[in-house]
Structure 1
């Protein structure tokens, strides 16, 4: 194996954790983590340059809510902070990925292995 291996990045947040976006008014629960940016260049270029985050950090897939709307979001670690409200979200897809909300976080569903 080459010595130019990419160092594994440690994510600050974990699956099931509820976070808040620092720039945009939404909360979300993390359901997947990329160790660095792993979306399309088209998506990247759509972000205004003045607020475009570095690609060299973990990015999170979120079930997000903002007021009455719900969606799937992709956000950089630097744009997220812990949501300390202790309140669950109201996202229609949360029951597909998580069993329940307990002690301020979502517990992932157990997956059956083949």
Structure 2
């Protein structure tokens, strides 16, 4: 398990199991593994794959592209789920919650035929 603490300038990409206690001035991108975020992100959090337990603060948006996310902290922007599983604890503070609308099977078939 990797521990990230202190203050980080710029984006941080995570590829392994990580506990983040840091303040990140930029975006955090989870590509694989497990991220436990207990610090601050002064940008966005992108969960591309893996699991994330968010206990800290995100100034921007939290975007779940294809992972498992649990929100127990504060997200000033939106919590966006494109794919995967997202749980927002009732005690959490979030700006808004959005879910991507799944494409219907018939529409996928039409797209496949037209290309």
TM-score, normalization by structure 1: 0.26
- Decide which structure has greater helix share: 1
Q: Using CA pairs below 8 Å that are at least 6 residues apart, which structure has the higher relative contact order? A: 1
TM-score, normalization by structure 2: 0.25
